[in-house]
Amino acid sequence: MGFLYSVMHYVIYDGNCNLCANLVQLLEKLDQGERFCYLPMQDTDALQQYQITPDDCEMGMILLEASSPQRRWQGSEAAEEIGRLLPMGAVFVEAYRALPGLKWSGDRAYEQIRDRRYELFGKRDRTYKSAYPVCSESSRAVPE
């Protein structure tokens, strides 16, 4: 088994967006449920327990710290935090943030893609549901 991370995060994504679902599938393969669990924005009942509304979801993906759900990131900030949490990801995120103008450009690009995602990448017929849905602390893997 892999290393047990002390802090689990929930990735709230658009399960109807082809780009979003494909990125979640990539994260699932990389992480295998060790750091992240996933919740589609279309599961409005589950989102209510985190005080997340459909209007909140319109502003882009959301990342919550599972043990402190009030600690959250959204949009390009969420994407950066996910990258930072991946093995060796912090080095790349810090370099990205340090290059003049790159973060600003990345934030603007995220907004454009977010607002045109169905037009650019298509909309799924069915909501993608992750193999690692939002889980409880007791269902997490433990080290051997």
In this structure, are residues 124 and 18 in contact, taking their beta carbons and an 8 Å threshold? yes
| Residue 128 domain-assigned (yes or no) | no
| Residue 138 domain-assigned (yes or no) | no
Q: How many domains does the chain have?
A: 1
Cβ within 8 Å of residue 114, ≥6 positions away: 59, 60, 75
Instruction: Kindly indicate the confidence band of residue 143, based on its pLDDT and cuts at 50, 70 and 90.
Output: very low
- pLDDT of 15: 97
pLDDT digits (tens, 9 = 90+) for 69-84: 999 999 999 999 999 9
In this structure, are residues 71 and 65 in contact, taking their beta carbons and an 8 Å threshold? yes
| Residue 44 domain-assigned (yes or no) | yes
| Residue 31 domain-assigned (yes or no) | yes
Q: Which of 1-15, 21-35, 85-99 has the lowest mean pLDDT?
A: 1-15
| Residue 115 domain-assigned (yes or no) | yes
| Residue 99 domain-assigned (yes or no) | yes
CA–CA gap between residue 137 and residue 73 (Å, rounded):
20
Query: What residue numbers bound the domain in which 25 lies?
Result: 9-121
pLDDT digits (tens, 9 = 90+) for 108-142: 999 999 999 999 999 999 999 999 999 644 344 43
| Residue 142 domain-assigned (yes or no) | no
